[in-house]
Amino acid sequence: MQTQPLITLKNVTKEYRGLAGTVVALKGISLDVQQGEFLVITGKSGAGKTTLVNVLAGLDRTTDGEIWVDGAPVHRFGPEKAAQWRGRTVGVVFQTFELLPTLSLVQNVMLPMDFAHRYTRRQRRERAMQLLEQVEIAAHARKPPTAISGGQQQRVAIARALANDPPILIADEPTGSLDSATTATVLDVFSALAAAGKTVILVTHDKDVAARGSRVITLADGEIITNHDS
């Protein structure tokens, strides 16, 4: 029996208007994502992968169409409302980790909690340490990001994305700057999170990485051209 999808996109379009004219990056994307899925979005450079996850995360606005997440009309949110909503609902992981170099690893993980006010001050450090344990970096908690490897930094970035316990994790090419052995350990973390009930959406153009998802959709020129369980 199919339950109500956590995420529903209805005919989503996105146009970028610039001096050079209009680029249609998404041409009517319709998609349902169930809670606990490990969805991979793949496709060639320029296909619209980043655009799709950015509108999904409320980082950018759609031109037309609807995005519903757990009953919330994300397509109607202005920037402020979107930021508030995202803080509670979506953890975002980037290719280049984006950890703050002047903060220790545990402080980096605590930062989103300081903004969301979901946990008390005492709970924040405790929770940050638990998250670092979950990604097996707790032993390095007091070090700065520069003192650990790229794969370790990406695991810290995942812990930070989980800081406010969001139901959804979105990662755009999270293993794009990692070697294959390190990539495997980062993908293990995503798989475990999906198995534990988080909804994971990962962008990649790497076939081996895509194979780790429970479903793969392929974008080409702003449209979904394949959509199947792996």
Ligand X SMILES: Nc1ncnc2c1ncn2[C@@H]1O[C@H](COP(=O)(O)OP(=O)(O)OP(=O)(O)O)[C@@H](O)[C@H]1O
CB closer to ligand X out of 18 and 101 = 18
CB closer to ligand X out of 16 and 115 = 16
Per CB under 5 A, which region of 31-39, 43-51, 123-131, 182-190 contacts Mg ion?
43-51
The Cα–Cα gap between 58 and 85 comes to 8
- Residue 220 interacts with ligand X (CB under 6 A)? no
Q: Which of 48, 58, 174, 213 binds ligand X (CB under 6 A)?
A: 48
**For residue 22, how far is the Cα from the chain centroid?**
27
- Residue 50 interacts with Mg ion (CB under 5 A)? yes
CB closer to ligand X out of 17 and 122 = 17
Pick from 119, 93, 35, 32: which is nearest to 67 by CA?
Answer: 32
- Residue 42 interacts with ligand X (CB under 6 A)? no
In angstroms, the Cα distances linking 38 to 32, 64, 141, 168, 170 are 13, 26, 28, 10, 10
* Residue 23, binding choice from Mg ion, ligand X, none, Cβ under 5 to 8 Å by partner class: ligand X
SS3 content of the chain, % helix, strand, coil (to 5): 35, 30, 35
- Residue 51 interacts with ligand X (CB under 6 A)? yes
Indicate the residue type of 170.
Answer: I
- Contact present, 3 and 34 (Cβ < 8 Å): yes
- Residue 171 interacts with ligand X (CB under 6 A)? no
Q: Which residues bind Mg ion (CB under 5 A)?
A: 50
Q: Which residues bind ligand X (CB under 6 A)?
A: 16, 18, 23, 25, 43, 45-51, 205
